[in-house]
Amino acid sequence: MAQIRVLPDRVANQIAAGEVIERPVAVVKELLENSLDAGATRVEIEFSKGGRSLIRIEDNGSGMQPDEALLAIERHATSKVREAADLLNITTFGFRGEALPSIASVSRFQLKTRPPLSQSGTELLINGGKLIHVRECGMPQGTRVEVAHLFNAVPARRKFLKTDNTEAAHIIHLAKVYAIAHPRTGFSLMENGRMVFDSPSCPSLKERVREIFGPVAVEDLMAVDAKDGDYRLRGLISRPGKGRSSRHDMITIVNRRPVTSSTLNQALIESYHSFLPRGRYPQAFLFLELDPKTVDVNVHPSKREVRFREAARLRGFVIRSLLQSIRPAAAPEVAGSRGTAAAAFPEAGDEGKAARLPPPSAPEKGGRGGGEPDPASYRRDARDPTPAGAAPDPDWKVKWRFLGHAQKGLAIFDSPSGIVLLDRRAAHQRILFEQLEKQYRDSNVPAQQLLIPVPFELDALGSAALLENLDFLNANGFEIAEFGRNFFRLEATPVWTSPEEGETLINDLVGLMKAGTFRKNKPLQAFTQLARLACQRSVRLDDSVSEKEVIELANRLMRCNNPLLSPLGRPTYIELGRNELDRRFYRNLAPSGNLW
């Protein structure tokens, strides 16, 4: 039998590193969390080559005495948990005391640290788990960790890393998420010597989101703020209809710890079920606060996933809270221009009377101080809860109020968040494109037989190209038959085109085929070309379109998978948000923001 041995620390650390430090972003996460646990009000992150060649994190937190620094790199050395019972009440990020030794065992690890009131700092250098030196150094208050040559000595792990770009994307996302979770803490992030973002301490979540995701993102968000017993849910979520194409923009933070939780994600998606087109997801920055005893963060090696003790109750609370914000924002449907503003934007309890627009977004604050994220700024643009009767409508409708037509094919609406200019042609094209897409997917493209088939002739090249793609066209609403060398007969066309246009259409298609952009071995690409052509040709704008039709057009557009762009990539509508309008009307006059 083999002998049983206790592993040397260095080997144990490298094994633990396999679990805790699976890739560069995990190093960033652990170091970042240590900085936040140390009470830092400013954290600088820098990395290069996807984190492989360098990760540097510097904070102005509590720092460590020389003996504490030496202890910190020992396995299971932590200042945060003393006994198992503490695990039930964790308020810090770290608690296992394995991050630093694990990282140091698979990299060249330099730690410099100085606590307040100390004259000098301490520098530790460790290479692949081996302590190289400990010495005094100059250092501002705080801690700086530099991790170089990550996984160099662990080829097995290095092999599993993705490209530098992918690893970098993970690091950038993580840094953004932590910056969102801690608006008061100043954060900066540099990649390969280039600043990705640099956000000072922010007075509110909204301000932080604006700093990191830009003003446009903020305009598409609205506030949530709800409380029930020991649960509190705050944050910013998508306005109805303003979803994203991926579910990666749902950021959930539990007791200040960014987490992934299927309970929270499902509650989010479900709440938006009737308020976003199919295939679109809400954007969310959700802060849940609850008794730390009712959430287990110790279920995942990197503590990313959490488990809730009363998942069902929590789920109910989250859905109710979200709907409280979503419903009133969505409830008003497109109203006719004869309607009053109140009809377009009813307020709870006093429909008819309250001819009031929704309150403007939170005014810009003067300076940026420290201080708590301002709860009032969460609440400021929350709408009143809707009356109990207003159930979500399965046929989603925009709540734009039609104002009139302008220019060439523009329809103008008043929306709760600003002014909307809808390009009717682009909207029609998007709707048609998605209709064709569906027919194509269902292999059911309706065709119309021509009363008199149209004969046509092509040159040799065109003829060869058409023959090559004949099956594809015939499966997509055309009926084309070959009758003799370079001679064809068009017998049916798809219903989206008019029979008289059939021949020009074929010529356009043959042009694309010759240019090589239309290939039957790439059917989806071929279909897209065909559908774009269809959209370009078949949309005729009618000048005498009624208000009802324009509103129906807007509704149909917003039910599309991608309502924002025409199939040719042009915007279907432009929304001048209230902030944008405010900026133009007021802020130009008052650049300092404190004229009033």
Tell the smallest beta-carbon distance from residue 135 to ligand ADP (Å): 19
CB atoms within 10 A of CB 427: 24
The closest of 453, 440, 509 to 481, measured between CA atoms, is 453
Tell the smallest beta-carbon distance from residue 96 to Mg ion (Å): 8
Tell the smallest beta-carbon distance from residue 95 to ligand ADP (Å): 5
Residue 79, binding choice from ligand ADP, Mg ion, none, Cβ under 5 to 8 Å by partner class: ligand ADP
Distance of CA 471 to the CA centre of its chain: 41
Residues 289, 504: Cα–Cα separation, whole Å: 64
Residue 123, binding choice from ligand ADP, Mg ion, none, Cβ under 5 to 8 Å by partner class: none
Nearer residue to ligand ADP within complex by CB, 38 or 181: 38
Under 8 Å between Cβ of 480 and 491:
yes
Tell the smallest beta-carbon distance from residue 59 to Mg ion (Å): 12
The answer for residues whose C-beta is within 8 angstroms of residue 419's C-beta and 6 or more apart is 412, 413, 575, 576, 581
Q: How far is CA 462 from CA 474, 501, 510, in A?
A: 17, 18, 6
Following CA atoms 394, 399, 405, 408 in sequence, which dihedral angle do they give, to the nearest 10 degrees?
Answer: -70
Tell the smallest beta-carbon distance from residue 6 to ligand ADP (Å): 21
Amino acid identity of 230?
D
Helix (H) or strand (E) holding 413: strand 410-415
Under 8 Å between Cβ of 399 and 345:
yes
Nearer residue to Mg ion within complex by CB, 33 or 414: 33
Residue 61, binding choice from ligand ADP, Mg ion, none, Cβ under 5 to 8 Å by partner class: ligand ADP
Instruction: Candidates 51, 94, 142, 418: give the one binding Mg ion (CB under 5 A).
Output: 94
Instruction: Candidates 13, 34, 283, 325: give the one binding Mg ion (CB under 5 A).
Output: 34
| 557 contributes a contact to ligand ADP by CB under 6 A | no
- What is the residue whose two structure tokens read 């037989």? 449
Q: Which stretch binds Mg ion (CB under 5 A): 32-40, 228-236, 335-343, 386-394?
A: 32-40
The closest of 171, 160, 144, 180 to 106, measured between CA atoms, is 160
Tell the smallest beta-carbon distance from residue 94 to Mg ion (Å): 3
Here's the x/- map for ligand ADP, 137-176, by CB under 6 A: it reads as: ------x---------------------------------
Q: CB nearest Mg ion: which residue?
A: 94
Residue 534, binding choice from ligand ADP, Mg ion, none, Cβ under 5 to 8 Å by partner class: none
The closest of 542, 530, 538, 535 to 506, measured between CA atoms, is 530
Tell the smallest beta-carbon distance from residue 145 to ligand ADP (Å): 7
Nearer residue to ligand ADP within complex by CB, 61 or 416: 61
The closest of 368, 446, 93, 126 to 257, measured between CA atoms, is 93
Tell the smallest beta-carbon distance from residue 100 to Mg ion (Å): 7
Q: Which of residues 51-80 bind ligand ADP (CB under 6 A)?
A: 59, 61-64, 72, 77-80
Under 8 Å between Cβ of 90 and 290:
no
3 state DSSP class of 242: coil
The answer for residues whose C-beta is within 8 angstroms of residue 169's C-beta and 6 or more apart is none
Nearer residue to ligand ADP within complex by CB, 121 or 577: 121
Tell the smallest beta-carbon distance from residue 352 to ligand ADP (Å): 58
Number of residues that bind ligand ADP (CB under 6 A): 22
Helix, strand and coil in the chain, % to nearest 5: 35, 25, 40
- What tokens appear for 428 in the block? 């029609």
Q: Which of residues 9-48 bind ligand ADP (CB under 6 A)?
A: 30, 34-35, 38
Nearer residue to ligand ADP within complex by CB, 35 or 572: 35
Q: Which of residues 69-128 bind ligand ADP (CB under 6 A)?
A: 72, 77-80, 94-100
| 99 contributes a contact to Mg ion by CB under 5 A | yes
The crossing angle, in degrees rounded to 10, of helices 24-37 and 164-181 is 20
Site residues (vs Mg ion, CB under 5 A): 34, 94, 99
Interacting residue ranges for ligand ADP, rule: CB under 6 A: 30, 34-35, 38, 59, 61-64, 72, 77-80, 94-100, 143
